[in-house]
Amino acid sequence: MHIQFLNPDDRNQWQILWNGYLEFYKSELPDDITNLTWNRLHDPLEPMYAFGAYENGKLIGFAHVLLQRSTWAKNGYAYLEDLFVDPNIRGKGTGSELIKAVYDFADEKQLDRVYWATQADNPARRLYDKYANESGFVQYRRK
């Protein structure tokens, strides 16, 4: 298994995982939003990046990252918005490798923070606790 930037040719494989991710969150997105997101993830003018975990050429997971300015720091932050691994291949370190790849990417860019949010009861927190500290902040949303 290795991690690399998501290959723009792998839209079909990504779509299957993306559908699984939306299902995990019991969510649906209009196709035009999914298309927009896919295109932005591959647009060099957009501050959005996608990493893919590949096993024998097959896409088995992804991490999507957004770069942000900050009023509190010089180089800004990376927001890890989406993380997903094929349910059949979980527990083998793929999620860990994706997080580490995001950390390496952030270090290369000398970013000041990598952060993400998750639901309080997500079992993935056991994984996250190995790599980061829970901030104590509570997220509020208008919509």
Ligand X SMILES: CC(C)(COP(=O)(O)OP(=O)(O)OC[C@H]1O[C@@H](n2cnc3c(N)ncnc32)[C@H](O)[C@@H]1OP(=O)(O)O)[C@@H](O)C(=O)NCCC(=O)NCCS
Q: Which residues bind ligand X (CB under 6 A)?
A: 24, 83-85, 90-96, 118, 122-124, 126-127
3-state SS class at 71 = coil
For ligand X, give the closer residue by CB, 76 or 95.
Answer: 95
Give the DSSP letter string of 11-45: HHHHHHHHHHHHHHTT----HHHHHHHHHHHT-TT
Q: How many CA atoms lie within 13 A of 48 on its CB side?
A: 12
Which C-beta is closer to ligand X: that of 70 or that of 122? 122
CA distance 128 to 41: 24
Kindly state the smallest distance separating residue 85's Cβ from ligand X, in Å: 4
Quick one: 67 or 89, whose CB is closer to ligand X?
A: 89
As measured in angstroms, the least distance from the Cβ of 126 to ligand X is: 3
Query: For the chain, what's the residue count?
Result: 143
Least distance (Å) between residue 69 CB and ligand X: 23
Vertex 137: Cα angle to 134 and 139 (nearest 5): 115
Is residue 28 exposed (0-12), middle (13-18) or buried (19+ Cβ within 10 Å)?
Answer: exposed
The least distance separating ligand X from the CB of residue 94, rounded to whole angstroms, comes to 4
Q: Least distance to ligand X from the beta carbon of 45, Å?
A: 27
By C-beta, is 130 or 143 nearer to ligand X? 130
Cβ-closest position to ligand X:
95
Residue closer to ligand X by CB (options 10, 55) is 55
